[in-house]
A = this chain, B = another copy of it.
């Protein structure tokens, strides 16, 4: 094994679902990470063919259970793209085995579940990051640079896509026993992140669901909107939906400037990403070159943090746990308001 291989963070993947294709490509493109193992709860043969057709390293170990992968000492970190209903169990188990965790959103079914993950990560000293990729696009850092000077007054963020009939029947995101939080835990997760990003990660005072939510027969949110407000008269609205045309929008308006992003979740192009600012009547389109796809930027940053811990004895960076917890808290509050006839939910003390 060469020195450079030695320094790569070895990632194990739990399950062979579709999103793993994208993530395995991202890991392959990351100089500081490598795929070392994959676990499946179904057929080993299928997993073999999955690894072969997705350019996994030839020596990738294939495990027939999640637990056996977690016990492999040659795995530094795990990516968990499993349904939210399984997150507490498997994230806590991974932390116990000292595995650093890249966890898909929604990070849990609710914040009290997520707090078990927080405790385990803190107790076992493992790095946590949720798998939302847009946060790692270099564009996002630039946007944060602008909004912090703009004295934001209001934000509107929308993420919707028109799901297929089969998605609306079968996807884990519309099943109560699986992801459970529907469009709110999926598309809504991003819009809530956008609202927090625009407000310097500060939690609002109050969360109120807007009328017009659409729920399926099992009570899963297919479409909803919400209002957030801060003590200083700052407001934000979100809209998330599986039932409307693809839209991925942030408009953040401040005293001193406005930011507009039209493709914040997945940029139209992999090679660059744009956003617009206006300040004092001056309109600028900013184009940020992205040498690597944003999911690769995410893996590189995750592996960098894990490397700091593994190789230099650093402590985990708590930002990502704290950020995911805030988003989960707001997701829960929107759901609570929907369930309580759109009553405002006060966040103080949560």
Interface residue? A239 (CB, 8 A) = yes
Q: Is the interface of A mostly helix, strand, loop or mixed?
A: strand
Partner of A239, one of B210, B241, B253: B253
Mark each residue of chain A from 235 to 278: 1 if its CB lies under 8 Å from any CB of chain B, else 0.
10101010111110101011111101010000010000000101
Q: How far is the CA of A244 from the CA of B279 in the complex (A)?
A: 10
With a CB–CB cut-off of 8 A, which chain B residues contact A156? 156, 158, 237, 239, 251
Q: Given A247-B258, A255-B245, A283-B268, are A154 and B229 also a contact pair (CB < 8 Å)?
A: no
Q: Which of B212, B253, B255 contacts A158 (CB 8 A)?
A: B253
Report which of B154, B160, B211, B227 forms a contact with A206, defined as CB distance below 8 A.
B211
Task: Answer yes or no: A323 CB below 8 A from chain B CBs.
Answer: no
Residues of B within 8 A of A257 (CB): 245
> CA A216 – CA B261 in complex, angstroms?
32
The reply to whether the CB of A281 lies closer than 8 angstroms to some CB of chain B is yes
- Which residues of B have CB within 8 Å of A227? 210-211, 227
- Is A223 in contact with chain B by the CB < 8 A criterion? yes
Task: State whether the Cβ of A233 lies closer than 8 Å to any Cβ in chain B.
Answer: yes
**A150 in complex: contacting residue of B211, B245, B246, B268, CB < 8 Å:** B245
Q: Restricting to A183-219, which residues have a CB under 8 Å from any CB of B?
A: 206, 210-214
A314, CB-defined interface residue at 8 Å = no
Chain B residues within 8 Å of A260, by CB: 249, 262
Known contacts A210-B235, A268-B283, then 6 further A-B pairs from the complex at CB < 8 Å, ordered by chain A residue:
A154-B225, A154-B239, A156-B251, A210-B227, A244-B253, A245-B257
| Cβ-closest 5 pairs across A and B | A212-B235, A212-B233, A211-B229, A156-B156, A247-B258
Instruction: Tell me the A residues contacting B by CB distance below 8 Å.
Output: 150, 153-154, 156, 158, 160, 162, 206, 210-214, 223, 225, 227, 229, 233-235, 237, 239, 241, 243-247, 249, 251, 253-258, 260, 262, 268, 276, 278-281, 283
